[in-house]
Amino acid sequence: MKKLVIMSFILASNATIAQERMTPELLWSLGRVSGELVSDNGESVIYGVTHFDMEENKSNKKLYRIPFSGGPAVELNTEDGAKSVIAVDDVSGKITYLDKGQIWVMNSDGSSKSQLTNSESELNNLRISPDGKHILFSKEVLISKVHSPDRYPELKKSNAYVFDDLNYRHWDTWEDGKYQHIFVADYADGKIGTPLDIMPNEPYDCPQMPFGGSEDAIWSPDSKSIVYVSKKKAGKEYAVSTNTDLYVYSISAGNTVNLTPNLKGYDTSPEFNKDGSRISWLSMSEDGNESDKNDLLVYDFKSKSTVNLTKDWDGTVASFKWDLKGTKIYFLAAIKGTEQLFEISQVTAASAKSLKQVTKGQFDITSIIGQSANQLVLSREDMNHASELFKLNLKTGSLSTVTTVNKAVYDKLAMGKVTERHIRTSDNKDMLAWVIYPPDFDPSKKYPTLLYCQGGPQSALSQFYSFRWNFQLMAANGYIIIAPNRRGMPGYGVEWNKQISGDWGGQPMRDYLAAIDDIAKEPYVDKDRLGAVGASYGGYSVYMLAGIHEKRFKTFIAHDGLFDLRSWYGTTEELWFANKDIGGPYWGANVPDGYKKFSPIEYADKWNTPIMIVQGGKDYRVPIEQGLEAFQLAQLKGIKSRLLYLPDENHWVVSAQNALVWQTEFFKWLKETL
C-alpha cells in the first residue's frame, strides 16, 4: 500500500510540471528523425527530419548536418521535397545528394547547390561506385504485356488486365507487367553514359517489391562488381516461395553468378567488409517461411566458404553493420520486449563465443547509422518518445544524444508510466507484458483498460513508437493498456517464436486472455470496462476473441483483420505466408484443422459485443471482403457496430488526414462503448 501511495505522489508531482497531454494533432506535428549517414572521416552526421503538412496532406523532409563532436545543427535545404544523401566529403566540404531523381552537390553548410545530372528517367535507389566512375540505379522495365494499352496499342484509353498466372497483385498494386531492374552506367563530372540493364528481359524485381530499396543492390569496394537481391521466380512459383538469392554481376565480364544457389529461404541485406574480402547477409533457411530464424552469414571470397555466425544463438537478427575496420559486426535483435544492439567480435566459425549484448534498457535501438572512431550513431525510441539519434561510446557503453528534435514538445507533455508485468500463461510459462498508465494515474481510482493485440503475427512487441497505434495517446485519453508478448513474438527464443504457426487461434488466444485476466485483478482496473484492439493478426485476434471471450470485453476494434480464413486464402497474394501459418489450402485430403478451429467466422453465433471494423480498400494482403463480412455479421445480428472504410489506404494508414480521421473515430468509438 505504501508503494502505491508513493507512486501516486510522484506521478501527481510530474503532472503538475507538465500539464499538456498527447493529442492526435500533437502526435502528427512531431518531427520524424531519420539517420542518413556518418561522413567518411567521421566528422559529421547527416540526418533528415520529416514533418507533415495537414492542410496539404503531404510530408516534407529536410536535411541537417551536425558535427560529430557536438554543436548546432545546420539546415541544408529549405525547399520542399524528400531528399537523400549519397556521400559527404569533409575534406572538400561537399555533400552529394539525390533530389527528384537527379544527382546534386552542395557545400557542407547547404550553400551553392548545383544539379549534376539531367537524366530522362529518375535515378531511383542510386549508388555511386567507390571509385566514382560508375553509378547503379533502378527503374521500371516493361516485360509482360498484361495491361490492355500494352497488348492493344490502338486502344490507348482502355483499362483492362489479362492474367494467365498468379501474382497478379501484391500489397496494394496490381501487376502491370513492369519490373524494377538494376542499371549500371559510366559516370564522370555529372555526365551519365548509356545505361545497361543487368537483368535484361527477366520478369523479376530488384529492388524487391513492395518494400525493397537501395539496400538490395550494392557495389563491391573495388567497384568491379554489383551484388543484388532478387527472387527469380514468377507466377505461382513466386506466390508460394520466399527464396531470394544474392547475385554477383561483373562489370568487366558482364555476367551474373548466383552466390547463394543452395540457400532456399530469404537472403537479404548484403554488405561487404571494408576491404571486400568478405560479404555478409541475412538468411532464413526454410523456403516459404517469412518469419524463420534470421541468421547472419559471412562468405569469404578467398576460401570460398560460408559461415553462419548466429547458428547456435537462440535469437533472430533484424539488421547489421560491419565496423570501420571490417573485422567485427554489430547487429540489432529483439530481446525480452525491446530491440537492442549486439556485437560479434570474432567473425569466424567460433563467433558464438564472441557474441554479446551491447545495449540494455527500456528502449529500442532501431537502426545503426554509422561509426566514427570508437562511437556508433544509432537511432533510439521508446513508447513515450519518437526516434532520435544517439551516440554510443563503445568503450564505456554510455549513450548520449545527437538530436533533440522533439524535446520542446516532450518537455511540456505529461507522460504515462510504462512498466513490465510478468504473467503466468495457461501452460505455465512466464510472459512479459508492457503496461502503460494514464499520465495522472491514481491507483485509488478505476480505469477502463485496453488489451492491445499485436500484428505480424511474428513481429516483436518491443518499445516501439507508433504514429497510429500510439500507446501514449491512448493513455492520455484515460485508458490503461496492456500489451502482452504472446506466443509468436521474437525476443524469447526461436521456439517461442515458432509456436504460433498452425495455432493462430489456440495458445496465442489463451495468452491474451491470461494477460487481461491478470491485469483485471488490480483494484484500479474497471472489470466492466475492458476492450480489445488490434490490426492485421491483431485484427484477427480481435475477431477471434469476439467469439470466445465469454463476456470479458465490453468493446472491440479490429483493423484489417482476417475473418474468414477460406476466403482469405482465396484472395490474399503472398501464399507462402498462408501455407506456412495456416498449413496449406482449404481443399484436398489433408485440410488443416485451422480452417475450422481458428477461423473467426466459425464463431459467428457467439458474437454479441459492440465492434468497430476498419478496412483499407487497397489492402491486398487482407482484402476488403474480410472487413465487410465481419461488419455484415455484426449488423445482421443487431450488434452495435461501425465500419470505417478507407478506400485509398492499404494494410496501413499512410495519409496524414486519414490518420487523423482514424484516431478521431478510434477514441469516439471507445467513448461511446467503454
* Cell 492499404 found at: 650
Q: What is the 3-state secondary structure (H, E, C) of 420-480?
A: EEEEECCCCCEEEEEEECCCCCCCCCCEEEEEEECCCCCCCCCCCCCCCCCHHHHHHCCCE
- Cα–Cα distance, 87 to 555 (Å, whole number): 52
Q: Has 291 been annotated as catalytic?
A: no
Quote the pTM value: 0.95
pLDDT of 350: 64
Q: Has 40 been annotated as catalytic?
A: no
Which whole number is the average pLDDT over 275-304? Answer: 97
- Cα–Cα distance, 439 to 476 (Å, whole number): 6
| Residue 556, phi then psi, degrees to nearest 5 | -135, 150
Catalytic residue (choose from 147, 181, 559, 651): 651
pLDDT of 352: 66
**In this structure, what DSSP letter does residue 146 have?**
-
Catalytic residue (choose from 108, 283, 379, 536): 536
- Cα–Cα distance, 526 to 543 (Å, whole number): 23
Catalytic residue (choose from 440, 503, 581, 619): 619
Whether pLDDT at 4 is above 60? no
Whether pLDDT at 2 is above 70? no
The angle at the Cα of 187, spanning 186 to 192, to the nearest 5 degrees, equals: 85
The answer to whether the bond into 153 is cis (omega within 30° of 0) is: no
Whether pLDDT at 9 is above 60? no
**Domain map of the chain by residue range?**
413-673
- Cα–Cα distance, 548 to 529 (Å, whole number): 17
Whether pLDDT at 15 is above 90? no
Q: Helices marked H in 603-652 — which ranges?
A: 625-636
- Cα–Cα distance, 347 to 354 (Å, whole number): 9
- Cα–Cα distance, 439 to 416 (Å, whole number): 4
Nearest to 486 by CA among 471, 500, 503, 502: 500
* Cell 484515460 found at: 478
The confidence band for 177, taking pLDDT boundaries of 50, 70 and 90, is: very high
CB 98, CB 115: distance < 8 Å: no
pLDDT of 349: 66
CB 334, CB 318: distance < 8 Å: yes
CA dihedral sign of residues 180, 186, 191, 193: negative
Nearest to 545 by CA among 580, 496, 506, 503: 506
- Determine the 3-state secondary structure of 545 from DSSP: helix
Nearest to 470 by CA among 25, 150, 16: 25
For 259, the grid coordinates are: 552466390
pLDDT of 633: 98
For 653, the grid coordinates are: 494508414
| Residue 664, phi then psi, degrees to nearest 5 | -65, -45
- 354-372: buried (b, 16+ CB within 10 Å) or exposed (e) per residue? ebeebbeeebbbbbbbbbb
Which whole number is the average pLDDT over 144-156? Answer: 97
- Cα–Cα distance, 538 to 528 (Å, whole number): 22
Per-residue model confidence as pLDDT tens digits over 611-670: 999 999 999 999 999 999 999 999 999 999 999 999 999 999 999 999 999 999 999 999
pLDDT exceeding 90 applies to what percent of the chain?
92
The answer to whether the bond into 207 is cis (omega within 30° of 0) is: yes
The confidence band for 81, taking pLDDT boundaries of 50, 70 and 90, is: confident
DSSP string, 72-130: --EE---SSS-EEEEEEETTTTEEEEEETTEEEEEETTS-S-EE----SS--EEEEE-T
Per-residue model confidence as pLDDT tens digits over 348-365: 766 767 899 999 999 999
Which whole number is the average pLDDT over 143-156? Answer: 97
Fold of 413-673: Rossmann fold (3.40.50)
CB 389, CB 369: distance < 8 Å: yes
| Residue 662, phi then psi, degrees to nearest 5 | -55, -50
Q: Has 536 been annotated as catalytic?
A: yes
For 567, the grid coordinates are: 476466403
Per-residue model confidence as pLDDT tens digits over 545-573: 999 999 999 999 999 999 999 999 999 99
